[in-house]
Amino acid sequence: MDISEINELYYITHVDNLRLISQFGILSHNSVKRIPHKDLSSEVVQDRRDNKKLPDTNYNLHHFANLYFDARNPMLYFLTCHNKIEDICILSLSKEVLLIPDSVITDRNAASDWACFKPSPEGLQVIDREITFAKNWNLDNEFLKMEYKSKKCAELLIPVAVNKKYIQKIYVANNSAEQKAMNVCNAIPIIVNNELFFNKG
């Protein structure tokens, strides 16, 4: 892939965190853990990320804020199945985040044993565009299904924090979620996009 093919990147979070994000930007797991916030993530997943170090560094995945190339991915689907849809929002970030120094691109879920880590933006070359942006990953072939699920969660890892200046808009699933987001943060445009949330709104 080339940077010209990217329109935006995405960060998935609880709507109540918008107030914190509007002040401090998107913080890494390590940076935010001492600040009161709502965590949507699975403890099992976070334990795996805590134990995964990037090649040739002493930094684990929790040192980085993680953005997705495609928000409509298995992680979002999992979250929509285990949380109220009104509690979930997706931040759209300018592709300029790809130019933030020391950022890293992964070709799939960064916690995967098979993840490839490359500097950004040159690392875009490892992204499989067809799979990462595929609408469906429920394939009959179980091996391919796992490959799609992992690669659809390709990530951009940004050290410590993402400045709030890169945030362009906020996606929510329905009008109720829109109102909830506006009550927390009305300084950023809020867009209702039911399809992005698997039409669960």
Q: For residue range 87-140, list pLDDT tens digits in order.
A: 999 999 999 999 999 999 999 999 999 999 999 999 999 999 999 999 999 999
Quote the pLDDT of residue 144: 95
DSSP character at residue 54: P
Mean pLDDT over each residue of the chain, to the nearest integer? 95
Question: Would you please indicate which residues are annotated as catalytic (active-site) residues?
Answer: 49, 155
Mean pLDDT of 55-81: 95
Residue 84 pLDDT: 96
Cα–Cα distances in angstroms (integers) from residue 98 to residues 10, 197, 199, in the given order: 12, 24, 29
Q: Is the pLDDT of residue 45 over 90?
A: no
Task: Name the band, by pLDDT with cuts 50, 70 and 90, for residue 43.
Answer: confident
- Segment 150-164 shows an average pLDDT of 98
Q: Is the pLDDT of residue 180 over 90?
A: yes
* CA distance readout (Å), 33 to 39, 53, 161, 197: 9, 18, 13, 27
- pLDDT higher than threshold 90 for residue 56: no
| Dist CA 42 CA 30 (whole Å) | 16
25, two tokens: 């930007």
44 pLDDT above the threshold of 80:
no
User: Is pLDDT above 90 for 197?
Assistant: yes
Q: Which residues sit opposite 66 in a β-bridge?
A: 157
CA distances for 174 relative to 34, 38, 111, angstroms: 31, 20, 31
Q: Flag the least confident range among 41-55, 86-100, 116-130, 159-173.
A: 41-55
**Residue 150 amino acid letter:** S
Asked if pLDDT for residue 19 goes beyond 90, the answer is: yes
pLDDT of residue 51: 86
What pLDDT, on a 0 to 100 scale, did the predictor assign at position 77?
Answer: 96
Residue 84 contacts residue 128 (beta carbons within 8 Å): no
pLDDT more than 90, % of the chain = 88
Q: What is the mean pLDDT of residues 151-179?
A: 98
